[in-house]
Amino acid sequence: MPDAYLHGYATEEQARLLSQAEHWREELILAGTTLAPGTRLLEVGCGVGAVLGVLGETFPGVAFAGVDIEERQIAAARAHLTGLGVQADLRQADALKLPYADASFDHVWMMWFLEHVGDPVAALREARRVLAPGGALTAIEVDYNTVWASPTTAALEMLFSAMARGIDSAGRSDAGTRLAGWLAEAEFASVDPGARNLSYSGADLARQTAYAAALLENMLPTLAALPGVTASQLRAGLADLQALPATPGAGLGWAAHKATAFR
C-alpha cells in the first residue's frame, strides 16, 4: 500500500468514490464508450469498484476484472459489485506487476489513477503487456492547474493553487495534459488525447461546486500541511467556492482528458 496515497482509505473516502463515479457517469465514463459483449476489461486502480459498477450496469456481457493495491478497496469493491449484481474478477495487486498473462484483456481502463502513480509510463507499459494485440486503453484524468472560477477571489486562487500543489506532493497534478505523451512513450498507437474543456454555469453550477467542494474537503488536511498555506485560508477559499452558485453569472471549469489508445 502506498503510504503517500493522497486520498486515503477511510469509509467516507470510499463513499466519495461511489458518488464521484455517479457524478461522472454520463459526461466522462459513458460518453464515447462502447463495449461489445464478450470484451475482457480490466480496470487498474479500481478502488471500490465504482467505475466497474457503472460500466457493468451499462454493458452486460462484458467480462470485468479489477485490481487495486489496497486490500480494503478490493473488499469494498466486492461488496459494491455484488450488491449491483455485476460479476468481476477482483484482485489486490500493484499496477506495475499485474497478476495476468500477456494479452489477457481487450480493454484496460484507468480513471483518476495515473495522477497517483510514481511512474505512469511504467504502469502504462504493464497495461500494454496484458492487452491483446489491437486492444484498447481508456485513461481519464484532469489537469488541476487549469481549474478556474469566475468571478474569482484571492482565497479561491490560493485554494486552487494549493490543490495542484497537494496533488503534486504525492503524484502529478497535470496528469490529464500529459496522458497523450505518456501513452506514446509507453508505445501505444493511435493515441487520442480526448481533451474536454469542462465549463459549468447556471443550473449545472451547484452540482459541480458541491462535487469540487467534497473533493477539496477530503484533501484539506494534506493541503493545510503545505508550506505557506493555512487551514483558515483554505476554508475561506471553500466558502467562496460554495458561494459561487448564488452569484449571478458565475462559472467554474477545468480541463479533463478522456484519452484512448490501442496496443
Ligand X SMILES: C[S@@+](CC[C@H](N)C(=O)[O-])C[C@H]1O[C@@H](n2cnc3c(N)ncnc32)[C@H](O)[C@@H]1O
* Contacting residues toward ligand X, per CB under 6 A: 2, 5, 7, 17, 21, 45-47, 50-51, 67-70, 73, 94-95, 111-113, 116-117
Shortest reach from residue 251's CB to ligand X, in Å: 25
Nearer to ligand X, 46 or 90 (CB): 46
* 95, 37, 78, 10: CA torsion to nearest 10: 60
Nearer to ligand X, 9 or 148 (CB): 9
Phi, psi of 5 (to 5 degrees): -60, 120
Rounded Cα–Cα distance for residues 251 and 200 (Å): 6
Residue nearest to ligand X (CB): 47
Nearer to ligand X, 30 or 239 (CB): 30
Shortest reach from residue 193's CB to ligand X, in Å: 19
Shortest reach from residue 25's CB to ligand X, in Å: 11
Alpha-carbon dihedral sign for residues 141, 177, 115, 110: positive
Nearer to ligand X, 56 or 245 (CB): 56
Nearer to ligand X, 6 or 239 (CB): 6
Measure the CA angle with vertex 147, ends 141 and 151; round to 5°.
155
- How would you classify the pairing of strands 40-44 and 63-68? parallel
Shortest reach from residue 126's CB to ligand X, in Å: 9
The DSSP line for 204-218 is HHHHHHHHHHHHHHH
Cα dist from 228 to 108, 120, 201, whole Å: 40, 29, 31
Rounded Cα–Cα distance for residues 17 and 65 (Å): 18
Shortest reach from residue 145's CB to ligand X, in Å: 18
CB 28 within 8 A of CB 21: no
Nearer to ligand X, 7 or 235 (CB): 7
Amino acid (one-letter) located at 69: I
Shortest reach from residue 17's CB to ligand X, in Å: 4
Angle between helix 175-185 and helix 120-130 axes, rounded to 10 deg? 50
Phi, psi of 253 (to 5 degrees): -165, 175
Shortest reach from residue 6's CB to ligand X, in Å: 8
Nearer to ligand X, 50 or 252 (CB): 50
